[in-house]
Amino acid sequence: MADLRYEAPETLQAAVALLAGASGPARVLAGGTDVIVQMETDLIEPSLLVDIKKIPEVRRITAENGGFRIGAAVPGMEIMQHAALNKAWPGVVEGVKLIGSIQVRGRASIGGNLCNASPAADSVPPLVAAGAIARIIGPNGSREAPVEAIPTGPGKTSLAKGEIIASFFLPPRPAHASDAYQRFTPRTEMDIAVVGVGVSLALDAAGSCTAARVALGAVAPTVLLVKEAADALIGTELDEAALDKLASAASAACCPIDDKRGTREYRTKVAGVLAKRTALQAYERARGN
Amino acid sequence: MATILEKSGFNPDKKLKIVGTSPVKHDGIDKVTGRAKFGADLYLPGMLVGKILRSPHAHAKIRSIDISAAEKLPGVKAVVTRADFPEIKAGTPDGDMTRNAMAREKALYDGHPVAAVAATSESIAKEALKLIKVEYEVLPHVIDPVQSMQPSAPILHDHVRTKGIKGADQPSNVIERLDLGIGDVEKGFVEADVIVEREYDTKPMHQGYIEPQSCVASATEDGQIELWCCTQGPWVFRDRLSNILKLEASKIRVQQSEMGGGFGGKTGFYGEPVAIQLARKARRPVKITLTRNEVFRATGPVSGTKSRIKMGVKHDGTITAAEAELIFQTGAFTGSMFSNAPQAMFTRYNLKNVKTVSYEVVSNRPKVNSFRAPCVPQVVFGVEGVIDELARKIGMDPIDLRLKNAATEGYKTIYGETFGKIGFVETLEAAKRCDHYNSPVPPGQGRGVAAGFWFNRGGETTGTLNIAIDGSVTLILGTTDVAGSRISISMMAAEELGIPVDKVRAVMADTHSLGFNRVTAGSRTTFSTGMVIVDSARKAIAELCKRAAVIWGVPEDAVTFEDGYCKPAGANVGTFEPLSIAQIAAKTMATHGAIAGHSEMNVTGAGPGFGLHIVDVEVDKETGRVDIKRYTVVEDAGKAIHPLQVEGQYQGGAVQGIGWALNEEYYYGEDGRLQNPSFLDYRMPVASDVPMIGTEIVEVPNPRHPYGLRGVGEVPVVPTMAAIANAIGQCVGIRPQSLPMSPPKLLKLIEQARAQNGG
Amino acid sequence: MAKKYHVTTTVNGDEYEFLCEAQQTLLDALRDELMLSGTKEGCATGDCGACTVMLDGTMVCSCLVLAVEAEGARIETIEGMANGDELHPLQRTFLELNGLQCGICTPGILIAAKALLERNPDPTETEIRYWLAGNLCRCTGYDKIIRSVQAAAKEMRGG
């Protein structure tokens, strides 16, 4: 890597051109909290780094059409400190809050977290549960895709050469809706999730669940959006039976691995336990909205 | 005149002015401003970056190494391999040591050094490593020690014949079988009313010091070496380097840096011999700083174990017999210090019948190094669990059972020493009285206690105390200051001389400046170097009195020293104004020379340390996650020279034990490679994982030391895992027998307990 | 010779310039180019916090920032924490209450604690622990670190 080239373009178009025209392996540099680690540990050897932090669109959070547009390279801390995001999407904020340490969150972004495509990424399950849409800019113009379509396997995304995620859109929230993210780690902080669960749901005025999305992280090669788990909640007030159904559906959807962070058996069990806890938390919040 | 080893002059009634207070440590200002120079903080002109090429195989013959392409890369100034290290016979201590530093015939673990380069930049050095061609013949490997003991296991060393087994004439991975016992356990078990026998296993872990090893080596054209490194033993390093590199000791000057944690892991060298050989070849200084990955893969982790422990007790609480069978893995080479385990594991109880059989076994992992109380916490994890179980079975309070069997002065230990004054009983009684033990266990939580012991060591130590012309004092210390011993030693010097501690400053010496010092380990530093400096101070005081006698024109024995002043010994000597140290120095240095005291000795009389830990935990029954709610360390310090330091040792050891108990372990893949060589997946406690750690300092002075102190560095980690396991057992219904007690394992136990209780 | 980048940056109020390769981190540059060795490397992968510095007012791991990214930035390291001979209250309380043993984690922890007290002058014990979760310490067990931060916070509030 003695001839690694670093570029810091000021427009998306320039960034796309650099990436599309790269002759060797190229990486986008947002927060750097994955890319720099991977270079340090010799997992990747790029010949070009494209630092996108000078591009205004990817660094700002704006209200849009009742929802939010979050730049792909906004540092986690900024998301955590955004009052309106905290109110509307506490689960998304929770996911961001659990990435690394305060130091890491000073730099890490949800764009990087998603495109690094670790099965255990913390911000991805709540973004999937939220129904977030990624806006992708590439050599052929711009397109949109749901967040769950981006990771295709550990370390792999569906982005074509030259494509960058510019921002994410979180849709407007109806009343009585909220979300939550919980994960299991052996320590209180600093661990990669052994299991992560993001739940977003909406209720009617009587407290019955009218819509739900349940996403599981760290229990499959990519985040799983589990329809059966969501269906278990719809039409219920999250009574014991509904929660049991939810837990079973969550556990059934898991196809985890055995590794130094958890066993297959353990992850499958805890997915069910966490699904219940996370759904209840989202429910309590939704009732309060 | 009796030497300080024969007569320490310990006086329990002496009013102390400085010892027992907690002044700001003198080296602290450099550490809070970033000025302090740790291993990686030295930069020399012309310095090159050294990088080590490591075997990716757990076990392989090294057929050939081709460095020609690497040598030609612009910016590369030297490349070394086994060819650059003197040939030393395999199977000797030096032979093992040189092979651990640079492989010769075989690579014995993932991470074993096989070559190294020195280059003008890190990126060139890394590129050069890629150009070195090593031809390996990969061999089958074995990681687990029990598997390594099987006859079918791949043999690491053809020369090993098991010591301690008659007729062992075949190559083996079992280095030694050690039998150690007293009395008659068969008889003892017959006398018992209740017997408990359990098996335990503990995974290897790492000391986890935050500072990776780093050194800078430079060499002159005529063969003199200067080595700057973070080390717990500059002289030990020097002498071992002298042996394996075949250089005279006087030609190697080892200067210790400040050290960012060692805990035993820096008592052996890793990059140092390589940096020296590179520096000699490149004719420029070479710095080698290990990456965190290298620290985990290729320095000295802590031994994993398997044990079977059996103890018997009478209804009245008398323990009648104790038996243990222990297996220790030592990694690729011998040197686990496993004999500590049978010597220490039961040695706080006055047992008459003990039988132990211990094995040290090699396998394809890095050679282990010490941690606090090497090899003992792993087996105390089991012993204190069995004792707890015995207590519950006979309906006795767990501390009371330990009190009933507590060793006291006069007990002859299994390793042949007889205890002098010790404080185990006092420690247990203090624990019984303490607030934590007397608070009710909060609902949903479980409480555990466990006791620990460590010999504490003395050993070869040297030091010098110099008095300056203004009466201020400088100390030359040989032992590494790992956490704050230098201030405690300065306090003892100040106390002896009757001067404020601010008038004293200490330096950590290089190997040219003092005679041999054994490693900073064994909880020996404040005790031994303190002893040596007190001895030096007393010699300096004798010289001061001589000088005062000259000034006054009186006989030497007519002068006495008190509170920083030389005074006439009695009214009959004459009326003389007391002379301060500064006055004597000013008046006599020009005519009589400097005033100093110097001491070297093999320090003895270290007083054993005892502790009792109390912990409350909460277990999430659906996930197996453990929350440490409250922790108290009760331990005998003999005399706390600097109480805040002593508390810090207790708290630090306890939290290391919490990590060891709950999450720290080495994961190996099928390919024999370490899977978690990073702080991400080697899970040490972070600040949010632990509560405040309560401490109770018990003081049963050690009369063999002038200030009564006992080492405190190691006991705090000895009972920790056992106490936590005992507490978890109360929560979960089954007391864990395997370390670490990670959530997946605990969840299994919880389900087992549920099934046993009928769901 | 590898491609090098010329960087101009401000550290502790002083302007510096240096040359670096693209993959070198800010940590490397601070230590090896600027000789500011107070910031420590414990892991180089953002897991231990020993390399913590302030970058444009944000607390970061300098091992997770490229040296080239320091261009035009305002960096604060441990060397800038004292004001001449006057130690920052945190530096003082760590000394008085024995909040450090070996001292290797101390620069990172002091920078992190200072950042905390600047945004939250009255943190609870839990808040301090979670803020410092990215700073590993192996010697102290964290107890006296937390107490030192609490004492400094009290002093800085005028208590």
CATH number at residue C120: 1.10.150.120
Dihedral through CA B597, CA B600, CA B604, CA B607, nearest 10? 50
Q: Which two tokens stand for residue B149?
A: 């003991």
Judge whether C133 and B686 are in contact, CB under 8 Å: yes
- Strand-strand pairing, B133-138 and A224-225: unpaired
Identify the domain containing residue B678 by its residue range: 375-456+607-756
What pLDDT score does A15 carry? 98
Tell me the residue type at A101. S
Question: Where does the pLDDT of residue B2 fall: very low under 50, low under 70, confident under 90, or very high at 90 and above?
Answer: confident
- What phi, psi does B195 have (nearest 5°)? -125, 140
pLDDT of residue B541: 97
Mean pLDDT score across all residues of chain B = 96
Average of per-residue pLDDT across B410-418: 95
> Which residues, at least 6 apart from C63, have a Cβ–Cβ distance to it below 8 Å?
A36, A40, C25, C26, C27, C41, C43, C44, C45, C46, C51
Residue B491 scores a pLDDT above 70: yes
Angle at B207 between CA C78 and CA C41, to 5 degrees: 25
* Contact yes or no for B123 and A259 at CB 8 A: no
- Do B472 and B450 fall into the same domain? no
| Phi and psi angles of residue B733, each rounded to the nearest 5 degrees, phi first | 100, -15
Q: What is the spatial distance between Cα C128 and Cα C113, in angstroms, rounded to a whole number?
A: 8
CB-CB neighbors (< 8 A) of B654 in chain C: 141
Partners of B689 on chain A (C-beta within 8 Å) are 187-189
Residue C159 has pLDDT above 90, yes or no: no
Helix/strand/coil (H/E/C) assignment for every residue in B308-375:
EEEEEECCCCCEEEEEEEEEEEEECCCCCCCCHHHHHCCCCECCCCEEEEEEEEECCCCCCCCCCCCC
Residue B187: pLDDT over 90 = yes
Spatial CB neighbours of A62, under 8 Å, sequence gap ≥ 6: A68, A69
Interface test with A, best of B54, B291, B686 (most A CBs within 10 A): B686
More confident residue, B523 or C159: B523
Query: How many structural domains does chain C have?
Result: 2
How far is the C-alpha of A138 from the C-alpha of B713, rounded, in Å? 60
Which band of pLDDT confidence, cut at 50, 70 and 90, is reported for residue B384?
very high
What is the distance in angstroms between the Cα of C108 and the nearest Cα belonging to chain A?
Answer: 10
Which residue in chain A has the smallest CA separation from C119?
A: A81
For residue A153, count other CB atoms closer than 10 A to its CB.
Answer: 12
The last residue of a domain, from among C47, C80, C113 = C80
| Same domain? B566 vs B612 | no
The pLDDT tens digits of the residues spanning A89-104 come to 999 999 999 999 999 9
The domain boundary residue, chosen from B568, B603, B638: B603
Nearest to B652 among C43, C95, C139 (CB): C139
Q: What is the pLDDT of residue A289?
A: 84
Is residue B315 in a domain? no
C23 → closest Cβ in A1, A100, A104: A1
Least CA distance to C23: which residue of chain A?
Answer: A4
Which residues of chain A neighbour B293 with C-beta distances below 8 Å? 41
Query: What pLDDT was estimated at residue B46?
Result: 97
- B212, B262 contact by CB (below 8 A): no
Cβ atoms of B687 and B662 within 8 Å: the answer is no
pLDDT average, residue stretch B104-113: 98
Half-sphere exposure of B627 (CA within 13 A, CB side): 11
Domain-terminating residue out of C40, C57, C80? C80
Instruction: State the best of B121, B123, B622, B658 to mutate against chain A, taking most chain A CBs within 10 Å.
Output: B622
Within this chain, do residues B648 and B583 fall inside the same structural domain, yes or no? no
Residue of B nearest to C140 (CA): B652
Instruction: Identify residue C152 by its one-letter amino acid code.
Output: A
Residue of A nearest to C26 (CA): A36
- Tell me the nearest-neighbour CA distance from C103 into chain B, angstroms: 5
CA distance C105 to C99: 11
**Is omega for the bond preceding B740 within 30 degrees of 0, making it cis?**
yes
Q: Are residues B580 and B494 in the same domain?
A: yes
Chains near C with 3+ CB pairs less than 8 A apart are A, B
**Domains in chain B, number:** 2
- Residue B210 in contact with partner chain C when CB distance is under 8 A: yes
C76 plus C32 within the same structural domain: yes
**Residue B382 belongs to some domain of the structure:** yes
φ, ψ (nearest 5 deg) of residue B459: 110, 175
B559-562 and B60-66 strand pairing:
unpaired
pLDDT, tens digit, for every residue of B541-557?
999 999 999 999 999 99
Asked if residue B443 and residue B525 are part of one domain, the reply reads no
Same-domain pairing of B472 and B382: no
Q: Quick one: pLDDT band at residue A2, thresholds 50, 70, 90?
A: low
Q: Give the count of Cβ contacts less than 8 A between chain A and B.
A: 53
Distance CA B534, CA B529 (A): 8
CA-nearest residue to A35 within chain C is C64
Domain match, B656 and B676 both: yes
Of all helices (H) and strands (E), which one includes residue A258?
none
CB B265 within 8 A of CB B248: no
CA pair distance B746, B662, nearest whole angstrom: 10
Number of helices (H) and strands (E) in chain A: give both, helices first.
11, 14
B759 has pLDDT over 60: no
Predicted TM-score (pTM) of the model is 0.97
pLDDT exceeds cutoff 60 at C6: yes
Distance of CA A9 to CAs A17, A49, B22, Å? 10, 11, 56
> C103 to chain B: nearest residue by CA?
B31
Which of C101, C125, C149 is best to mutate for the B interface (most B CBs within 10 A)? C101
CB B445 within 8 A of CB B617: yes
Question: Are B398 and B479 within one domain?
Answer: no
- Rounded to 5°, angle at Cα B663 from B658 and B668: 140
Of A2, A186, A269, the CB nearest to B625: A186
- Per CB-CB distance under 8 Å, the chain B contacts of A1 are 123
Q: Which of residues C53, C80, C107 is at a domain's end?
A: C80
If you average pLDDT over residues B497-503, what whole number do you get?
Answer: 97
Distance from CA of A124 to the nearest CA of C (A): 21
Which chains have at least 3 CB atom pairs separated by less than 8 Å from chain A? Answer: B, C
Q: Is residue B583 located within the same domain as residue B472?
A: yes
- The crossing angle, in degrees rounded to 10, of helices B525-552 and B485-497 is 30
Mean pLDDT of B260-283: 97
Segments forming the whole domain that contains residue C118: 89-156
Same domain, C68 and C94: no
Q: What pLDDT does B374 receive?
A: 95
CB atoms C103 and B263 under 8 Å: no
Give C28-50 pLDDT, tens digit per residue.
Answer: 999 999 999 999 999 999 999 99
Q: Which chains touch B (3 or more CB pairs under 8 A)?
A: A, C
Burial class of residue B366 in the structure, from the number of CB atoms within 10 Å of its CB (0-12 exposed, 13-18 middle, 19+ buried): buried
